[in-house]
Amino acid sequence: MRKDDSRIETLRHDCRAVFDAAVASVHPRHFMPERLPPVPRHDGRIIILAAGKAAGSMAQVAERHYLGLGMPPERLSGLAVARHGYGVALERITMREAGHPVPDEGSIAGALEMLALAEEAQRGDLVLFLLSGGASACLAAPVDGVTLAEKQALTRALLASGASIGEINTVRRHLSRIKGGRLAQKVAPARLITIALSDVPRDELAAIGSGPSVPDPTTLAEARAILSRYAIFPAESIRSALSNPENETLKPGDAAFAGTRAMIAAGPADGFAGAVVEATRLGYHVVDLGADIQGEAREVAAHHATLALAEARSGRRIALISGGELTVTLGEAPAGEDRGRGGPNQEYALALALALKGAAHIVALAGDTDGTDGGAGNPDDPAGAIVDPGTLARAEAKGAVASRFLERHDSTGFFSLCGDLLVTGPTLTNANDIRVILIDG
């Protein structure tokens, strides 16, 4: 192997090590145990309700914790609803799987089962709600008059529009019988404690999984404005629902939240910190580009490429690290071509490769800590992609023009050809994205 080839292999290995360290730092086994409340006094039960991509792993940690304390098994029950492929083995808690990013029949069944369990809670019981990103799709209980098919179509339109996750969830909350604090309404008068793994900028509790157990500061009017802003024209039933005052979500100060407690146990900042620690350990000088970056994936990539090329002139070993959730706005596919496959991390990586133009000794990785970036909702969807100085050349050798793939948003197709997809499988956690650009000066 030539010296340059060896350097690139080392950089690729280090990129993956930094990403893996970020993922490991936000796995529930690291942050959950110390935050779990004590067993209720007397004969009170613990009902564990978990939703999102980390629902199974969070429920598993909690179940093992309480059974390990000697809690009688009959006092522990619950339900965990995770994305397809993200289920785990549980003893006392029922494990279900559902659709993501678009809800499916499993999402309906999981939401209805969870609402029923919440209503069974009695005074003296503790309902422990374990929340992670992805719960919005995993739990779907549309308001009266709205069908699953209509909700699916709206979800697809929102995902393609370039709307931020906060905007998408504002709409979702106002079309649901479980989101926007309505789960808390069902739990009362039992105690309710929410432990959340954040995947959103600024760790806004109401934005994580559309906030089933916490107050919602947004309004029906804001939801309507978002659809107008992105020129989304949903079914008449949805337009009617968003004009119905009965579908307004629960606000701060509502009696449903009396005595409830909610906390962020871990989030993007923790994953970002884990990445920084590993990059530093590997001998890189870390440049913090921001843990909560938002924006169009290809525009952020162009900016980061400029920064990387400038840093490369320093002659130092540099790690440019960023987090946050980027967006991809899908326009019309080029004439005569189908729209491709991909997600914001892969689109960022493809745009970055084009902007770097094969610059020597720069390798980058962009991936979602949950193990999936865009995709079709399958467990083996890619988590992101890796870029090195040979990426464009490998594509060209196969007759692929990178700019055409970017034009039709087919980043998965491009990186499949190059052999540069990042495929991790389900990570059983979810704390947003990590992007790392390594420079071996």
Tell me the torsion sign for CA atoms 262, 267, 268, 270.
positive
Copy the structure tokens of residue 425: 């499988």
Task: For the chain, give the percent of residues with pLDDT over 70.
Answer: 97
Residue with tokens 């422990």: 128
Domain identity same for 159 and 41 = yes
Print the domain residue range for 162. Answer: 28-266
Domain boundary (266, 283, 305) is at 266
Domain identity same for 354 and 428 = yes
Residue 334: per-residue pLDDT: 52
Banded pLDDT at 441 (limits 50, 70, 90): confident
Domain identity same for 294 and 430 = yes
Backbone angles phi, psi at 22, to 5 degrees: -65, -45
**Residue 11 host element (H or E):** helix 3-25
Domain identity same for 11 and 89 = no
Domain identity same for 185 and 293 = no
Query: Could you report the per-residue pLDDT of 281-319, keeping only the tens digit for each?
Result: 999 999 999 999 999 999 999 999 999 999 999 999 999
Domain identity same for 243 and 311 = no
Residue 175 amino acid letter = L
Q: Taking Cα atoms as reference points, which of 232, 53, 240 lies closest to residue 146?
A: 240
Can you list the alpha helix ranges (DSSP code H) found in 333-401? 344-356, 391-397
**Which whole number is the average pLDDT over 141-169?**
94
Residue 41: per-residue pLDDT: 81
Query: Could you report the per-residue pLDDT of 109-129, keeping only the tens digit for each?
Result: 999 999 999 999 999 999 999
Backbone angles phi, psi at 389, to 5 degrees: -60, -20
Which range (3-7, 248-252, 305-309, 316-320) has the least confidence? 3-7
Query: Could you report the per-residue pLDDT of 262-285, keeping only the tens digit for each?
Result: 999 999 999 999 999 999 999 999
Residue 333: per-residue pLDDT: 54
Domain identity same for 33 and 128 = yes
Residue with tokens 């793939």: 405
Domain identity same for 255 and 282 = no
Residue 153: pLDDT over 80:
yes
Q: How many domains does the chain fold into?
A: 2
Residue 1: pLDDT over 50:
no
Residue 337: per-residue pLDDT: 57
Residue 186: pLDDT over 90:
yes
The answer to whether 274 touches 24, Cβ cutoff 8 Å, is yes
Question: Which residues are paired to 263 by β-bridges?
Answer: 195
Residue 259: per-residue pLDDT: 85
Residue 160: per-residue pLDDT: 87
Domain identity same for 251 and 302 = no
Residue 437: pLDDT over 50:
yes
The answer to whether 347 touches 409, Cβ cutoff 8 Å, is yes
Query: Could you report the per-residue pLDDT of 371-393, keeping only the tens digit for each?
Result: 999 877 888 899 999 999 999 99
pTM: 0.93
Query: Could you report the per-residue pLDDT of 331-360, keeping only the tens digit for each?
Result: 665 555 566 789 999 999 999 999 999 999
Residue 251: pLDDT over 90:
yes
The answer to whether 111 touches 82, Cβ cutoff 8 Å, is no
Domain identity same for 59 and 137 = yes
**Which whole number is the average pLDDT over 415-423?**
95
What strand order describes the sheet that includes 384-387? 285-290, 317-323, 433-440, 362-368, 384-387, 421-422
DSSP 69: T
The answer to whether 42 touches 71, Cβ cutoff 8 Å, is no
Which range (104-108, 179-183, 375-379) has the least confidence? 375-379
Task: For the chain, give the percent of residues with pLDDT over 90.
Answer: 90
What strand order describes the sheet that includes 46-51? 93-98, 76-83, 46-51, 126-132, 191-197, 261-266
Average pLDDT, the chain: 94
- Side-chain-side CA neighbours of 399 within 13 Å: the count stands at 0
Residue with tokens 């970002």: 272
CATH of the domain at 59: 3.40.50.10180
Residue 42: pLDDT over 90:
no
Domain boundary (266, 289, 318) is at 266
Copy the structure tokens of residue 416: 């499949």
Q: Taking Cα atoms as reference points, which of 90, 81, 185 lies closest to residue 137?
A: 81
Nearest-10 Cα torsion for 341, 345, 351, 357: -120
The answer to whether 297 touches 351, Cβ cutoff 8 Å, is yes
Q: Report how far residue 213's alpha carbon sits from residue 182's, in angstroms, rounded to the nearest whole number.
A: 7
Comparing 141 with 337, the larger pLDDT belongs to 141
Q: Report how far residue 372's alpha carbon sits from residue 384's, in angstroms, rounded to the nearest whole number.
A: 7
Q: Taking Cα atoms as reference points, which of 33, 36, 35, 205 lies closest to residue 135?
A: 205
Residue 69: per-residue pLDDT: 95
**Which whole number is the average pLDDT over 15-41?**
96
Helix (H, G, I), strand (E, B), or coil: what is residue 74?
helix
The answer to whether 374 touches 341, Cβ cutoff 8 Å, is yes
Domain boundary (266, 288, 316) is at 266
Left if phi > 0, otherwise alpha if psi is -120 to 50, otherwise beta: which for 315? Answer: left
Helix (H, G, I), strand (E, B), or coil: what is residue 141?
coil
Q: Report how far residue 10's alpha carbon sits from residue 71's, in angstroms, rounded to the nearest whole number.
A: 49
DSSP 200: S
CATH of the domain at 312: 3.40.1480.10
Banded pLDDT at 330 (limits 50, 70, 90): confident
Q: Report how far residue 149's alpha carbon sits from residue 367's, in angstroms, rounded to the nearest whole number.
A: 30
Query: Could you report the per-residue pLDDT of 76-96, keeping only the tens digit for each?
Result: 999 999 999 999 999 999 999
Domain identity same for 192 and 180 = yes
Tell me the torsion sign for CA atoms 352, 358, 362, 367.
positive
Residue 335: per-residue pLDDT: 52
Backbone angles phi, psi at 179, to 5 degrees: -85, 175
Domain identity same for 161 and 34 = yes
Residue 170 amino acid letter = T
